[in-house]
Structure formats: C-alpha cells, structure tokens
Amino acid sequence: MFKGLAAALLLGQSFAYDTILGFNSTPIIETRSLDEIYHAALLEGGTVTVWHGGDERTQQDTLKAAFEKRFPGITLNITVDLSKYLDGEIDQQLFNGNIHVDSIILQTLQDFPRWQQEGALLNYAPVGLESVFPAFKDPLSASWYGYSIFFWSISWNVEKLPHAGNISSYKDLLKPEFKDQLILTYPNDDDAVLFAFYQIMEVLGTKWFDNLLEQNPRWVRGTATPLNVLSEANSPQSVTFTSFGGLSPGQNINISFPNDADFVSWPQTAAILKHAPHPESAKLLHNYLLSPEYQSKVSWSVRHDIRPSGTMYPDIMHMPHTNPTAFARFMEDRVTVERLRFFFEKRLGTAQGLSPLIDEF
C-alpha cells in the first residue's frame, strides 16, 4: 500500500519526469498588463488554487481579500499548511500525474531548484521579475522567485512590560526581569526557527541556550502562536523572537532587531506548476504579487527598487544583522539541519501539543 508513497518520496533522488525530456530552461517572458492577464483568467474560469506555507489557517486571509477585491470574479482558493508537509504532497501529485494545485508558495526553499531540475515548474517571468534581487530568483529559467521577505524580530508587549525599555539583543532576554516571560516556538519543529537558534549560538555559544532555559520559557508549536499569546492581556508571557508580525505588528507590540547576532530573514518563494490546471489565473496572481502595487504594502520587498514605506529601515539587503540569502543555503544542507534538530530535541524533547493547523473536534 505504500509503494506509490515510497516512490514519491524518492523523487528528488532518482525519479525524472518524462516531461524533462527535451527540457528547455528558456522562460516565457510576460509582456501583458495586469488587466490583460485578468481578462484571460476570467475566460479560463476565474479560479486559482494556491498552497501557501504557514501555521495558521487564516494567515493569508488578507492576501485573499486584497486579490479578490482587486480582481472581481476571480476566486483565490488558498490553503495554508506547514511547508514541510505541503512539499511532500506536491511530490505525490507530481508522481501520480494528478496536479490540482496551480501555485505553490513555501518556506522549504531547497525544494524549488529540485522541482525546476525535474521539469515540474513553469518557466515563466512575471512583469517586474527583472527588479527582484538576483539572489531571490532562478536566474536562468525564472521558474521560482521570492515574493515577500519573512523574518523573526524580537517582539514584546509593552503593556505587560512597561519598564522594559528597548530589548536590543538576544543577551537582553537573559535578564532576570524576563524569567517566565518568554514564549518560543520549538526549534526542532520549524526549520526557520531552528536556523534562528543556530545563528544565535554560532555567536553566543551553547552557554546562551543553557541560560535561556533557566528563564523557563514556554515552548509552543507554530510561529504564529507566540505573537498571539503575548498579545493576550490575560497570558503571562510577553516576549518572543520566533514570530512574524511584520514591521508594524499591532497595538501594544514593539519590535526590535538584535545587535549581537543575526536574525533570520528569507524570501518566501513562489512558483507555478508546469501543468497547473489554471495557468492564466496563476500568472495573474504572480504578476500581482511582484507588482509595485503589492510590493509597496509588504514589510520588506523582494524588489531592489522598492524600500519599506513609512519606516527608517533600508532594503533587506542592506539591513544590519541579517543575511536573507543564508537560510536557503542552510535548508539545502539537510545533514546539518537534522543534526541540529536532534540537538534541540535531546534538550527540549519532541514538540508537544497539537499543531495549530489540526482541526479541533
């Protein structure tokens, strides 16, 4: 019963799609306007199905609402789940030749070059791709590219910590006033969080982690959970560095970026599947995502010609204490990833609690 699944799991090692025969890396370069692609998408049926990495089902509701408002008559059918689960399901669809997803937007950056080499992605350059930082895209085939910068900052609830001042370093989190105040995602349950701890400990050593454990942090699953919990007035936790709230995370929440070790940032990466059932609708979405209209609204743009609006921050490539290209290299080194995962699992145990995406009954 597991024969098909086993074969799908081996796709990245030995299986080559029959479509790779005669594979051409030359991309289709889009020259149409958004309105012209919109018209083609309507004629196609007006639906685009997207799988987006995340750990809270409602995380992309804002994107869905903005896209459907911008393009009336087009439905953005978006599913949010953990990237580490979605990529395996994509492999199964590819193996079975039963593609029902149009667009994939994932944290598992190591998957995209593999899928491109296997001929699974559409070689397609949306309008504006030339302005995307070279390190965030496939330079030859244009089969994948970042669409928004995700990152972890230090975040805290100023109402719960009225006298904390600015928390400017990871060492600050070891101060006595933060004992029992920290809420953190298990590093052995999320590769981006794992990389965050890895970068910190490269500079501050394992002693920092030992001291962090003495602060009695609350460990949770999901990177949306810490920010949700510290935002709650009746929860005791007030500080995290493993949650994404953007550059303007909301009322009563302050953020800062550390000055003693790098923080994690990466381009959340998108691609259209080569045999997507709704290719015109997928093209509409990807052109919209890379447009100045959309890129001007994200915290950090993947485009070199758009800076964060209303902030003092430079573009992501010139932001101190982060390297947005480093996470991709880390994700490709699965030996190091697994070794680190087991280091933390030995110290913390396996991740406890249900995934935030498991439905309650």
pLDDT in tens, 165-196: 899 999 999 999 999 999 999 999 999 999 99
Give me the pLDDT at residue 251, please: 81
Domain map of the chain by residue range? Answer: 20-150+266-312, 153-263+323-348
> Do the first three CATH levels of 20-150+266-312 and 153-263+323-348 match, i.e. the same topology?
yes
**How confident is the prediction for the chain on average, in pLDDT?**
91
Tens-digit pLDDT profile for residues 129-167: 999 999 999 989 999 999 999 999 999 999 999 888 899
Residue 329 has pLDDT above 60, yes or no: yes
Domain 153-263+323-348 superfamily per CATH: Periplasmic binding protein-like II (3.40.190.10)
- pTM for the structure as a whole: 0.90
Q: What residues form DSSP beta bridges with 47?
A: 75
**Would strands 218-220 and 145-151 be described as parallel, antiparallel, or unpaired?**
unpaired
Q: Residue 141: CB partners within 8 Å, gap ≥ 6?
A: 25, 26, 27, 116, 121, 123
Q: What is the pLDDT of residues 13-40, one digit of tens each?
A: 433 333 433 456 789 999 999 999 999 9
Q: Name the CATH superfamily, with its identifier, for domain 20-150+266-312.
A: Periplasmic binding protein-like II (3.40.190.10)
